[in-house]
Chains A and B, each alone.
Chain A
Amino acid sequence: MQKIGVFVCWCGSNIAATVDVQAVSDALAKEPGVVFSTNYQYMCSQAGQDMIQDTIKEYGLTGVVVCSCSPRMHEATFRKTCEKAGLNPYMVEIANIREQCSWIHKDKETGTEKAIILGRAAIAKVHLNAPLTAGQSPVTKRALVIGGGIAGIQTALDIAEAGFPVDIVETKPTIGGKMTQIDKTFPTLDCAACILTPKMVDAAQNENINILSYSEVESVKGFVGNFTVTIRRKARYVDETKCTGCGLCTEKCPQKKVPNEFNLGLDNRRAIYIPFAQAVPKVATIDPNYCTMLKTGKCGVCSKVCTAGAIDYKQQDELIEREYGAIVAATGFNPISMDKFDEFAYSQSPDVVTSLEFERLMNAAGPTGGTLLRPSDGTHPHTLVFVQCVGSRCDGGEKGKPYCSKICCMYTAKHAMLTREKYPDTDVYVFYIDVRTPGKNFDEFYRRAVEEYGVHYIKGMVGKVVPENGKLKVQASDLLGGQQLHIDADMVVLAAAIEPDKSARPLATMLTASMDTNDFFTEAHPKLRPVESPTAGVFLSGACQGPKDIPDTVAQAGAAAAKVIGLLSKDQLTCNPCVANSNELMCNGCSACEKVCPYGAITYIDKDFRGPNRTTLRRRVAQVNPAVCQGCGACTVACPSGAMDLKGFSNAQIMAEVDAICK
Chain B
Amino acid sequence: MKKCPVSQLDALFASVAARQKLYIPAGEAKTAAFQPWQEGMKLTDALNTVRSAKDLFFPQVENLVNFKVTGKQIEIIENRDPSEPFVVFGVRACDCRSFDILDKVFLCDPVDTYYKTRRENGVIMTLACTEPEETCFCTAFGIDPTDPAGDVSCWMDGENLYLRANTEKGETLLSELPMLSDGDAPAADKTVFDRLPLKNLPLDKFGGEHMMELFKYEKWAGLAESCLGCGACTFVCPTCQCYDIREFNTGDEIKRFRCWDSCMYSDFTLMSAGQPRPTQLERFRQRFMHKLVYYPSTHDGEFGCVGCGRCLQKCPISMNIVKVAKTLGEETT
Contacts and interface: CB of A to CB of B under 8 A. Distances in A.
Interface of A: 30, 32, 612-613, 659-660, 662-663
12 contacts: A30-B71, A32-B69, A612-B275, A612-B278, A612-B279, A613-B278, A613-B279, A659-B251, A660-B251, A662-B251, A663-B251, A663-B252
A444 to B, nearest CB: 70
Given A612-B279, A662-B251, A663-B251, 6 more contacts: A30-B71, A32-B69, A612-B278, A659-B251, A660-B251, A663-B252
Interface residues of B, number: 7
Contacts, number: 12
Nearest to B250: A663
Interface SS of A by simple majority: helix
Contacts of B278: 612-613
A357 B252 CA distance: 75
Interface of B: 69, 71, 251-252, 275, 278-279
Nearest to B266: A612
Contacts of A659: 251
A465 B310 CA distance: 89
Nearest to A30: B71
Contacts of A663: 251-252
A613 to B, nearest CB: 6
A233 B161 CA distance: 95
Nearest first, the 3 A-B pairs at minimum CB distance are A612-B278, A663-B251, A612-B279
A642 to B, nearest CB: 15
A612 B71 CA distance: 43
A612 B281 CA distance: 11
A373 to B, nearest CB: 83
A580 B207 CA distance: 54
Contacts of B251: 659-660, 662-663
A82 B169 CA distance: 71
Which of B69, B275, B278 counts the most chain A CB atoms within 10 A? B278
A30 B69 CA distance: 12
A395 to B, nearest CB: 51
Interface SS of B by simple majority: loop
Contacts of A30: 71
Nearest to A612: B278
B286 to A, nearest CB: 14
Which of B71, B251, B252, B279 counts the most chain A CB atoms within 10 A? B251
A659 B250 CA distance: 8
Which of A32, A612, A662, A663 counts the most chain B CB atoms within 10 A? A612
Nearest to B275: A612
Contacts of B279: 612-613
B271 to A, nearest CB: 15
Contacts of B275: 612
A32 B69 CA distance: 9
Contacts of B69: 32
Nearest to A124: B251
A32 B249 CA distance: 14
A217 to B, nearest CB: 50
Nearest to A32: B69
A270 B120 CA distance: 106
B265 to A, nearest CB: 15
A30 B70 CA distance: 9
A410 B71 CA distance: 72
Contacts of A613: 278-279
A613 B276 CA distance: 10
Contacts of A612: 275, 278-279
Contacts of A660: 251
A612 B229 CA distance: 16
A30 B72 CA distance: 10
A613 B251 CA distance: 40
Nearest to A614: B278
Nearest to A662: B251
Contacts of A32: 69
B216 to A, nearest CB: 15
A10 B69 CA distance: 31
A663 B252 CA distance: 8
A475 to B, nearest CB: 74
Contacts of B252: 663
Nearest to B274: A612
B319 to A, nearest CB: 20
Nearest to A613: B278
B310 to A, nearest CB: 30
A135 to B, nearest CB: 32
B150 to A, nearest CB: 44
A409 B275 CA distance: 78
A427 B251 CA distance: 82
A613 B279 CA distance: 8
A300 B14 CA distance: 108
A6 to B, nearest CB: 16
B164 to A, nearest CB: 53
Nearest to B251: A663
Nearest to B277: A612
Contacts of B71: 30
A612 B275 CA distance: 9
A42 B260 CA distance: 55
A188 to B, nearest CB: 71
A660 B249 CA distance: 12
B267 to A, nearest CB: 13
A31 to B, nearest CB: 10
A662 B251 CA distance: 9
B231 to A, nearest CB: 20
B74 to A, nearest CB: 12
A249 to B, nearest CB: 76
A516 B147 CA distance: 82
B254 to A, nearest CB: 12
B276 to A, nearest CB: 11
B75 to A, nearest CB: 15
B279 to A, nearest CB: 5
Nearest to B279: A612
A628 to B, nearest CB: 34
A612 B282 CA distance: 11
A340 to B, nearest CB: 60
Nearest to B249: A659
A32 B73 CA distance: 12
A116 to B, nearest CB: 14
A583 B95 CA distance: 45
A32 B72 CA distance: 9
B109 to A, nearest CB: 36
B298 to A, nearest CB: 28
B4 to A, nearest CB: 54
A107 B71 CA distance: 30
A28 B52 CA distance: 50
B274 to A, nearest CB: 9
A659 B249 CA distance: 10
A663 B253 CA distance: 11
A89 to B, nearest CB: 29
A122 to B, nearest CB: 16
A402 to B, nearest CB: 49
A428 B293 CA distance: 109
A32 B275 CA distance: 33
A30 B73 CA distance: 13
A505 B278 CA distance: 54
A487 to B, nearest CB: 78
A32 B251 CA distance: 12
A537 B12 CA distance: 83
B203 to A, nearest CB: 30
A662 B252 CA distance: 11
A663 B279 CA distance: 40
Contacts of A662: 251
Nearest to A660: B251
A439 B60 CA distance: 79
A611 to B, nearest CB: 8
A660 B252 CA distance: 10
A560 to B, nearest CB: 51
Nearest to B280: A612
A1 to B, nearest CB: 11
A613 B221 CA distance: 14
A562 to B, nearest CB: 52
